[in-house]
């Protein structure tokens, strides 16, 4: 923070929370800048970043104060180059501790509005952050609901409505308005270890829960700017509005804000319907192509079956020929067998006749012998 020489720095209690072991040098530096103030440096675990610094490191004393300004020196590593990060830091610091007069005005604002619970700088909209305008929930909606349920926050939460959250985690607040966060027994182990994901962690959820917790206690959140930064923001927003309006009007024509929004929504619906019809047409073409391929495959399959059938018929014809040849061969063998049998029968007859002749000859020889023997006597 920068104060001009003529401004008197108000007396404050400054509690510096750090994981840096050079805390003595840090304490001396702050004492040299914040004269007549109570300075305390606390060494903590390097886990939970700025969130654990606020909810764990100073839990024992935070409710003793009426108003607190919370700032930090954490690097915003989600987006490069560093000039974008420096722009976010400047926006946060210029709208929390811009000057002594600004600090006094902020305290007066809180005193004059007893139900004002938390006051934050406007959200970032420069460079890469422009793409997040309107999508401040990002991927953190579900985990924010879970954290709110854990803290028994019952106020309505809608994805269509973004919370007035301190997206750079630098803000003024009334500690009693965030009592629900301090009544919960947070510990360092409940926060993720480094390196931490850019989105979707309990750290991102708590950033969005700050204002919701205040609303649960009956307080409301607000956004405040220094006059210096308000002029910059007004210029930027005017530039955004003009250039966006010119670009959109060149497509859907000029009109009232709500008319242009409606035209854009209608155009989006028409595009989606056209894309749906185109998808259906492409699917139909694809189905037709698949049917044609299947038909072609079926025809090829039928041709292969016909070929197999023809081959089978040719094979059957060859088998029939072979069977016929076999039958003829069997018949010829049968004839040869019959011939052999006939020849055998003739031989048997001849052998029988020969045997009979031999018997007759034997008989004749025997008779002749007997007659010869008889006559000799």
State pLDDT tens for residues 27-78.
888 888 877 788 899 988 889 999 999 999 999 999 999 999 999 986 666 6
Q: What is the dihedral sign for C-alpha 66, 72, 78, 80? A: positive
Indicate the average pLDDT of the chain.
87
What is the average per-residue pLDDT within 329-338? 81
Looking at 34-140, list the stretches that DSSP marks H as alpha helix, in order from N- to C-terminal side: 49-52, 82-94, 100-112
HSE at residue 335, side-chain half, CA atoms within 13 A, is 5
Query: Does position 6 have pLDDT exceeding 50, yes or no?
Result: no
Q: What was the pLDDT predicted at 25?
A: 85
Q: What was the pLDDT predicted at 158?
A: 95
Q: What was the pLDDT predicted at 313?
A: 77
Query: Does position 96 have pLDDT exceeding 60, yes or no?
Result: yes
Q: Are 131 and 188 in contact (CB under 8 A)?
A: no
Q: What was the pLDDT predicted at 78?
A: 63
Q: Are 172 and 110 in contact (CB under 8 A)?
A: yes
Q: Are 116 and 174 in contact (CB under 8 A)?
A: yes
Q: What was the pLDDT predicted at 172?
A: 98
HSE at residue 46, side-chain half, CA atoms within 13 A, is 7
pLDDT band at 2 (very low <50, low <70, confident <90, very high): very low
Domain boundaries, the chain: 44-252
What is the average per-residue pLDDT within 317-343? 80
Q: Are 202 and 190 in contact (CB under 8 A)?
A: yes
Q: What was the pLDDT predicted at 76?
A: 62
């Amino acid at each position: 923070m920068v104060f001009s020489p003529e401004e008197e720095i108000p007396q404050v209690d400054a509690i510096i929370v750090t994981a840096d072991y050079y805390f003595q040098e840090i304490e001396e530096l702050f004492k040299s800048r914040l004269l007549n103030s109570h300075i305390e440096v606390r060494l903590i675990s390097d886990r939970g970043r700025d969130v654990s610094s606020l909810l764990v490191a100073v839990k024992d004393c935070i409710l003793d104060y009426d108003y607190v300004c919370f700032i930090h020196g954490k690097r915003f590593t989600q987006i490069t180059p560093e000039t974008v990060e420096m722009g976010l830091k400047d926006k946060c610091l210029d709208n929390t501790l811009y000057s002594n007069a600004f600090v006094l005005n902020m305290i007066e604002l809180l005193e004059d509005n007893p139900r004002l619970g938390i006051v934050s700088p406007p959200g970032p909209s420069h460079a890469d952050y422009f793409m997040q305008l309107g999508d401040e929930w990002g991927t953190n909606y579900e985990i924010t609901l879970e954290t709110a349920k854990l803290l028994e926050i019952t106020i309505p939460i809608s994805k269509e409505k973004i919370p007035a959250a301190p997206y750079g985690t630098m803000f003024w607040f009334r500690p009693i308005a965030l009592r629900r966060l301090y009544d919960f027994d947070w510990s360092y182990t409940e926060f993720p270890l480094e390196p931490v994901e850019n989105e979707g962690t309990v750290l991102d959820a708590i950033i969005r829960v700050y204002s919701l917790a205040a609303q649960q206690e009956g307080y409301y959140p607000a956004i405040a700017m220094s006059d210096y930064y308000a002029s910059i923001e007004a210029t930027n927003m005017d530039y955004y509005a003009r250039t966006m309006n010119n670009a959109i009007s060149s497509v859907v024509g000029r009109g009232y804000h709500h008319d242009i929004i409606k035209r854009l929504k209608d155009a989006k619906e028409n595009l989606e319907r056209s894309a749906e019809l185109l998808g259906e047409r492409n699917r139909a073409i694809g189905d037709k192509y698949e049917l044609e391929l299947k038909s072609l495959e079926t025809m090829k399959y039928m041709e292969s079956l016909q070929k197999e059938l023809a081959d089978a018929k040719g094979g059957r014809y060859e088998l029939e020929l072979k069977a016929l040849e076999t039958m003829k061969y069997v018949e010829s063998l049968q004839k040869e067998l019959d011939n052999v049998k006939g020849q055998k029968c003739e031989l048997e007859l001849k052998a029988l006749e020969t045997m009979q002749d031999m018997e007759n000859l034997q008989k004749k020889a025997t008779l002749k012998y007997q007659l010869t023997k008889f006559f000799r006597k």
